[in-house]
Amino acid sequence: MSGRIPEKGQLRPDERAPVSRILPGPKGAPLARWFWVPEWDLPDGVVHEALTLPFPACQLVVESEGVHLYGPVTSAWRRDLVGRGWAVGALLTPGAAHALLGEVLVWQDRVTQAKGATRLHGDVASVMDGPGDVDGRHAAAARLLEDWLVQEVGPIVDGDPDAPVARRLVDLADGDPALLRVDDLALRLGVSVRTVQRLASSYVGLSPAAIIRRRRLQEAAERVRQEPGTDLATIAADLGYADHAHLTREFGRTLGFTPTRYRAEGCN
């Protein structure tokens, strides 16, 4: 396996709750962009607020209480971590999300229990709660999730002619900083704007413009956190915002705070 997994989107990284990121193998690559495995063991009375701006995608997550499918979110995601715990998640490709949920748009900001995953839950929990080094347990748990996807979802995605196009749509909109307009995205894909809108709605659950905005906001938050010496107007201009005010409004609408406040609070 090769490639780099982006770490943007984690708004308050904390070494007390590290996250492993693992790429899929060849069979799992059409189904999951990558796997993520957080694990934490906090002292009594300590609460860590995990704050993320998730990628524009659905997630399949194995947790201690079960296996759940998370639809695409429209704002920042928060969860208080206490005591000891873990999760093993897959950032699903558009094809896998559509195979598991149908029309993804109706699953915005919703969660449902994954069907047929009882054995998967038990197997992953045995690995995560068992002996062994952290890296080994995380890799083994991710492989179990990948194997389940290959068996349960792989044949559906293989037979879906729109799945590769939807995947390419997300790869471009989420990965190319030069893409700022939906019509340019359609041109790169060689399809109509209407087709881009249909695929984004059915397979991602967000509009193509929202996917592009998510990428820019993730990158903006990462730069605000990592580059304290760079003024916000420069960051806004570099990422294609009309001005500093537009960046601030996008921050507030999606994250609930301004970039100035985020930076002033030390991003934690």
Whole-angstrom distance, CA of residue 14 vs CA of residue 165? 36
Residue 268: is its pLDDT beyond 70? no
Please identify which residue in the block is written with the tokens 């708004």: 11
pLDDT value of residue 266: 65
**Residues of the chain with pLDDT > 90: what percent?**
84
The string of pLDDT tens digits covering residues 22-49 is: 999 999 999 999 999 999 999 999 988 8
Q: Which residues contact 192 (CB under 8 A, 6 or more apart)?
A: 186
Residue 257 three-state SS:
coil
Residue 4: is its pLDDT beyond 80? no
For residues 222-251, give the mean pLDDT: 93
Residue 143: is its pLDDT beyond 50? yes
Residue 70: name the closest of 39, 28, 49, 101 by CA: 101
Would you place residue 213 in the very low, low, confident or very high pLDDT band (cuts 50, 70, 90)?
A: very high
Q: Which residues contact 89 (CB under 8 A, 6 or more apart)?
A: 35, 36, 37, 59, 60, 61, 62, 145
Would you place residue 7 in the very low, low, confident or very high pLDDT band (cuts 50, 70, 90)?
A: confident
Query: Helices 182-189 and 163-175: crossing angle, nearest 10°?
Result: 130
Please identify which residue in the block is written with the tokens 């558009």: 94
For residues 179-185, give the mean pLDDT: 95
pLDDT value of residue 267: 57
pLDDT value of residue 146: 99
φ/ψ of 76, rounded to 5, equals -65, 150
DSSP state of 71: P
Q: How far is CA 64 from CA 83, 87, 126, 221, in A?
A: 13, 7, 10, 30
Domain map (residue ranges) of the chain? 19-158
Q: Which residue has the higher pLDDT, 100 or 177?
A: 100
Alpha helices in the chain (DSSP H): 94-101, 118-128, 134-152, 154-158, 163-175, 182-189, 193-199, 208-226, 232-238, 244-255, 259-264
Would you place residue 265 in the very low, low, confident or very high pLDDT band (cuts 50, 70, 90)?
A: confident
Residue 205 three-state SS:
coil
Whole-angstrom distance, CA of residue 64 vs CA of residue 70? 15
Residue 70: is its pLDDT beyond 80? yes
pLDDT value of residue 2: 39
φ/ψ of 84, rounded to 5, equals -115, 140
pLDDT value of residue 3: 55
Give the chain's mean pLDDT: 94
**Residues of the chain with pLDDT > 70: what percent?**
97
The string of pLDDT tens digits covering residues 83-136 is: 999 999 999 999 999 999 999 999 999 999 999 999 999 999 999 999 999 999
pLDDT value of residue 8: 86
